[in-house]
Structure 1
Amino acid sequence: MVSAQSPIDLHSDANEILLNPRWPEDDYQALYRLAEKSQSEKNLKGHVWIATSGSTANSISATKLVALSKQALMASARSVNLHLQSSAKDVWTQVLPHFHVGGAGY
């Protein structure tokens, strides 16, 4: 699991599970175990697990998780940087939490 202080290594084959630390512990652990089980069953490597932000779930147990490949996150970042004509000299801030897909794009 990645903490708010630990950046994601987008070049590794390790999977990352990013969940809201404010969720009740039982719910948090249940979703964490679900992600671990799913990635193991599907033999996923190099993915980031994030809860869907558009979910209309009535309970945390109905929350859906998605696995985004690190390659896809990197491709998205490259496209955004190209579109915005940004360079290594530009400074970005992270205004969304790391467990949000927008925060994972740091």
Structure 2
Amino acid sequence: MRTRPAHYVAFGLKDGTVFGALQTRKPLKKSLRKGENIDPDGVYRFHMYDHTRDLPANLPDRDWIIQNTGIAGRLNTRRALRDLVLPKLDELQREVDTLTSQLTRIEEKLDRLLATDGNA
């Protein structure tokens, strides 16, 4: 079964936190506003707020709950990445650096050996 990519109008904060999104049809090129494009996640319009206090005060409680759940999810994800993933990536980078330096030394030795064998 073939699936089509989804496209969204998103609502969020300036730091990139998304607390709401509406799925829409793929926008026509002529309907995109100046400077808008479709990002890799399918978002083509992002309504940005400086702070949650800038949102309309008459939002239903349900919308406030959804918004705050989205923000909490974003914070939890960032913390998990920072605490669980980044240390492992640092460790892997150190291993790659060590292997790269070892490989460089091996290549240099091989080049010297081949150069001396070629002169004999």
TM-score range, shorter chain: under 0.3
Question: Structure 2 length normalisation: TM-score?
Answer: 0.23
**Larger strand fraction of residues:** 2
**Higher helix proportion:** 2
Please say which structure displays the higher CA radius of gyration. 2
TM-score (structure 1 length as normaliser) = 0.25
